[in-house]
């Protein structure tokens, strides 16, 4: 299995632009998680899906953030408009039972 | 609500020395426990997990952790570390097969 796949690996954009991060979970996994990691706040759970349905989005910082999971093999995290404080590494993880498997992350820099 | 405490933000050790990374958790129900490792500029990798059964769990690269319910701890140990073990280690807890609550991480620094 290729593991969790995320794209792009790096994204540099200017403040105000829309950013879309993509994730392909491990085939057969029924839960998908989006995290954000920064030096200041560590690892934060943004949202998670179970069987493609959003279960808990309480970690989504603002209305500028939105996430979708149109099918079992694809999810997106969108930031519109982006701000410099959104700069972070964004991880996607998937799980079936007992432990999450993380993707390599997308390093986002908003100038 | 559950929480995880990793008391040490950094643990410096010499190569071939033993190491223990501490993790304590709080929860009102039965939990599953995990250790993840993050190498520089990489994602988190699952190192080992406790779901049920034997309270001592091992990883393929020589780490082990013991679930101690009375002390609500899940400390990670290795009898002899290598330079390549330098990384950040995260302890995590979940109540069932849902979200994980992570500790703030412990940076293990192995020097020659």
DSSP for A48-60?
A: EEETTEEEE-TT-
3-state helix, strand, coil in chain B (%, to 5): 5, 50, 45
Q: How far is CA B35 from CA B30, B47, B72, B102, in A?
A: 17, 5, 15, 9
Cis omega (within 30 of 0) on the bond before A8? yes
Task: Please state, in angstroms and rounded to a whole number, the distance separating the CA atoms of residues A13 and A16.
Answer: 9
Say whether residue B43 is in contact with chain A using an 8 A CB cutoff: yes
Say whether residue A103 is in contact with chain B using an 8 A CB cutoff: yes
Q: How many helices (H) and strands (E) does chain A have?
A: 0, 11
**Which of B43, B49, B104 shows the shortest C-beta gap to A91?**
B43
Name the β-bridge partners of A87: none
Q: Are A21 and A11 in contact (CB under 8 A)?
A: yes
Say whether residue B35 is in contact with chain A using an 8 A CB cutoff: no
Output the six-digit token pair for B84: 């390549």
B60-99 pLDDT, tens digit per residue, is 889 999 999 899 999 999 999 999 999 999 999 988 767 8
The mean predicted confidence, pLDDT, of chain B is 92
Which DSSP helix (H) or strand (E) runs through B67? Answer: strand B64-68
A16-57 pLDDT, tens digit per residue, is 999 999 999 999 999 999 999 998 888 999 999 999 999 999
Position B1 pLDDT exceeds 70: yes
Q: Are A23 and A4 in contact (CB under 8 A)?
A: yes
| Residue B32 with chain A: CB contacts under 8 Å | 98-99
CB contact under 8 A, A42 and B104: yes
Task: Please state, in angstroms and rounded to a whole number, the distance separating the CA atoms of residues A36 and A22.
Answer: 14
Say whether residue B9 is in contact with chain A using an 8 A CB cutoff: no
Tell me which chain B residue has its CA closest to the CA of residue A29.
B97
Residue A97: predicted pLDDT: 79
What percent of chain B is predicted at pLDDT more than 70? 99
The mean predicted confidence, pLDDT, of chain A is 94
Angle at A49 between CA A44 and CA A51, to 5 degrees: 155
Q: Measured between CA atoms, how close is A96 to chain B, in angstroms? A: 8
| Residue B36 with chain A: CB contacts under 8 Å | 102
């Amino acid at each position: 299995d290729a593991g969790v796949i995320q794209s792009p690996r790096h994204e540099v954009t200017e403040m105000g632009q829309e950013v879309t991060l993509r994730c392909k979970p491990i085939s057969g996994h029924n839960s998908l998680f989006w995290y954000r990691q920064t030096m200041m706040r560590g690892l934060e759970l943004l949202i998670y899906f179970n069987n493609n349905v959003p279960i808990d989005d309480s970690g989504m910082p603002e209305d500028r953030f939105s996430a979708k999971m149109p099918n079992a093999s694809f999810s997106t995290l969108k930031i519109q408009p982006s701000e410099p404080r959104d700069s972070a590494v964004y991880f996607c993880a998937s799980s079936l039972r007992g432990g999450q498997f993380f993707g390599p992350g997308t390093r986002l820099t908003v100038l | 609500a559950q929480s995880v405490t990793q008391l040490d933000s950094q643990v410096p050790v010499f190569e071939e020395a033993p190491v223990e990374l501490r993790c304590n958790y709080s929860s009102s129900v039965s939990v599953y426990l995990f250790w993840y490792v993050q190498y520089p500029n990489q994602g988190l990798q699952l190192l080992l997990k406790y779901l049920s059964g034997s309270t001592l769990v091992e990883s393929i690269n020589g780490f082990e952790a013991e679930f101690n319910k009375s002390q609500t701890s899940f400390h990670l140990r290795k009898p002899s570390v290598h330079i390549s073990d330098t990384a950040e280690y995260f302890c995590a807890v979940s109540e069932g097969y849902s979200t994980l609550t992570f500790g703030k991480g412990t940076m293990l620094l192995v020097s020659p």
